[in-house]
Structure 1
Amino acid sequence: MLTAKAAVAGVMGWPVGHSRSPRLHGWWLDRYGIDGAYIPLAVPPGRVAEAVRALPALGLRGANVTVPHKEAVIAACDQVDPVARRIGAVNTLVVAEDGTIEGRNTDGFGFMENLRADRPDWRAGAGPAVVLGAGGAARAILVALADAGAPEIRLLNRTRDRAETLAAELGGPVRVLPWEERAFALDGAALVVNTTTQGMGGQPALDLDLGRLPPAALVTDIVYTPLHTPLLKAAMERGNPVVDGLGMLLHQARPGFEAWFGRVPEVTPELRRFVLEGL
């Protein structure tokens, strides 16, 4: 039961009704018996800064940020951590005791923790990574892979200019290849990541021939509806290890929950089943 001292956080977006975060954080709050609440915060474009600055006055500990506000919230933060600054987007806001607001980005953390939890023996330094897509999720994943020691990251996007811009901004081991050469880019790869919406329910499957992919290469997809996308099914059929995208959603939520509610939450099979039931 909530009391007047309940810790409160939420998720900002427009629209926000599709967010799985209230279900996810609500499960953890119940699981650990925490006096707290996690609520949806529908914030229309143009009022983002106003909403962020209101968090301390309303007594909220912070909030997650989802589309389309991840970039716009940066200007409203008192400080932004280095990872979020490099990515150019914030998905987690933390209100300090003095009322200042810090912007963080935990998407890359969630991506890497998902791989490590499912495939403990996998290492980013094992070989080249192939990343398909150059949107917001790709930015976070590229930074995470580079920081984890990936020796080469082959970035491919249907609009090459966007990939070139992203590679120029991030630097490091990111190398842009033409979308038409995506099948050849798999030569010698240790990891393949699909960050596009291709393969999501209602979208066409990702057109990618896996014939050149080494048998031991790990294949992952950030899409989790369906849980096993056509790409993951094709990889499994040829014997490649795969990791689905649901874990990224679950793991990226952990740092925010710890900051707001004072407990390090666990990602368990029970949590996965509970979140899947809501999809």
Structure 2
Amino acid sequence: MDGKTRLAGIIGWPVEHSRSPMLHNHWCRVHQINGAYVPLPVEPGQLETALRGLVAAGFRGVNVTIPHKEEAFRLCDELTETARRAGAANILRFAEGRIIGDCTDGTGFCDNLLAHDVALEGRALILGAGGAARAVAASLQDRGCEVFISNRTAARAEALVQALGTGTVLDWAEWPDRLGEMNLLVNATSLGMGGRGDVDWPALLQAGQAGLGVADIVYTPRQTSLLKAAQERGFRTVDGLGMLICQARAGFQAWFGVLPDADEASFDLLAQDLARHGLS
């Protein structure tokens, strides 16, 4: 690193679970870019202070993860149309003192499903109502899916459907009985991250029908308790690692000037690291 090193990073709380630094720094090496991407733990309530400090320090931009995505959206000076539709920003670019927000969670999610031969059609049930859930819901709707939202706090699910302009809210206690009507189940909550979350997924999946696709945005561990239960039922499953790689490409291009490939080498790098830490 020197005075010309391009700097970017990821803001979250916690942030130590993120493999984004490994991925982006790998791409910097592959493309021989004088750049560095660093983890930035920022407590809730400190996001605006942190962002303005990074702008002043000359950073090119940052990724934003839990729990800051929706607040980051509000703090942006400018937003892409995709970010407005998603109601969240996971990629921030700093330019001439301004913060420009974009959202690639939804497109990264859908690209990952397609890469795993999961059709984007029919009815999709999304668990969760945060920034990632909205981004995923918007992208699925844009591809013609009928979207259902269920969240433990019903008011948040209702607010999400209202913001999207279409969709159906299912009560948290009701969705397991309606699962047989669905083509896709998406866990867009943090349940299962780091192995936490006391959820009896085998019981909740009982009504699912053959052909159901089950996706989790969590990738630590890759095989969450939801995905393990879904595999035991014979459902097609997709973990969150490919979503991480697919959504990261646009940010890397914005900060470092090159659009990297979501290639096998990138996937293997992260998969092997997760395995080393017992998170495969």
Q: CA 1:17–1:233 in structure 2 vs 1: closer, same or farther (change >3 Å)?
A: closer
After superposition, what is the alpha-carbon deviation per residue over 1:67-102, rounded to whole angstroms, capped at 9, x for unaligned?
333233334422011222233322111123x44331
Q: Aligned-pair RMSD on alpha carbons?
A: 2.3
After superposition, what is the alpha-carbon deviation per residue over 1:166-223, rounded to whole angstroms, capped at 9, x for unaligned?
2122222x10122222223222321111123333403223434434323122111122
Q: Is the 8 A contact 1:130 1:185 kept in 2?
A: no
Of residues 185, 193, 198 in structure 1, which corresponds to 2:191?
198
Counterpart position of 2:231: 236
Q: Is the 8 A contact 2:70 2:131 kept in 1?
A: no
Report the CA distance between 1:260 and its aligned residue: 0.9
Of residues 118, 129, 137 in structure 2, which corresponds to 1:134?
129
Instruction: Please give the secondary structure, in 1, of the residue aligned with 2:223.
Output: coil
Unaligned runs of 5+ in 1: none
> CA–CA distance in 2 between the matches of 1:43 and 1:239?
40
Q: CA 1:160–1:209 in structure 2 vs 1: closer, same or farther (change >3 Å)?
A: same
Q: CA 1:72–1:212 in structure 2 vs 1: closer, same or farther (change >3 Å)?
A: closer
TM-score normalized by the length of structure 1: 0.86
Q: CA 1:169–1:191 in structure 2 vs 1: closer, same or farther (change >3 Å)?
A: same
Identity of aligned residues (%): 47
Counterpart position of 1:9: 8
Report the CA distance between 1:28 and its aligned residue: 1.2
> CA–CA distance in 1 between the matches of 2:43 and 2:128?
27
Q: Is the 8 A contact 1:198 1:206 kept in 2?
A: no
Counterpart position of 2:104: 106
Instruction: Please give the secondary structure, in 2, of the residue aligned with 1:12.
Output: strand
Unaligned runs of 5+ in 2: none
Q: Is the 8 A contact 2:214 2:235 kept in 1?
A: yes
> CA–CA distance in 1 between the matches of 2:229 and 2:51?
43
Report the CA distance between 1:25 and its aligned residue: 0.8
Aligned-partner residue type, residue 64 of structure 1: N
Report the CA distance between 1:162 and its aligned residue: 2.2
Q: CA 1:135–1:77 in structure 2 vs 1: closer, same or farther (change >3 Å)?
A: closer
Of residues 164, 173, 186 in structure 2, which corresponds to 1:180?
173
Report the CA distance between 1:132 and its aligned residue: 1.7
Of residues 158, 163, 168 in structure 2, which corresponds to 1:164?
158
Instruction: Please give the secondary structure, in 2, of the residue aligned with 1:253.
Output: helix
Of residues 220, 245, 248 in structure 1, which corresponds to 2:243?
248
Report the CA distance between 1:137 and its aligned residue: 2.0
> CA–CA distance in 2 between the matches of 1:183 and 1:8?
45
Instruction: Please give the secondary structure, in 2, of the residue aligned with 1:129.
Output: strand
Which sits farther off after the overlay, 157-166 or 251-260?
157-166
Aligned-partner residue type, residue 190 of structure 2: T
After superposition, what is the alpha-carbon deviation per residue over 1:33-88, rounded to whole angstroms, capped at 9, x for unaligned?
21111123344444433432344442221111223332333344220112222333
Report the CA distance between 1:14 and its aligned residue: 4.0
Q: Is the 8 A contact 2:10 2:65 kept in 1?
A: yes
**Where in structure 2 are the equivalents of 1:48-59 lying within 5 Å?**
48-59=47-58
Q: How many residues align?
A: 272
Q: CA 1:271–1:44 in structure 2 vs 1: closer, same or farther (change >3 Å)?
A: same
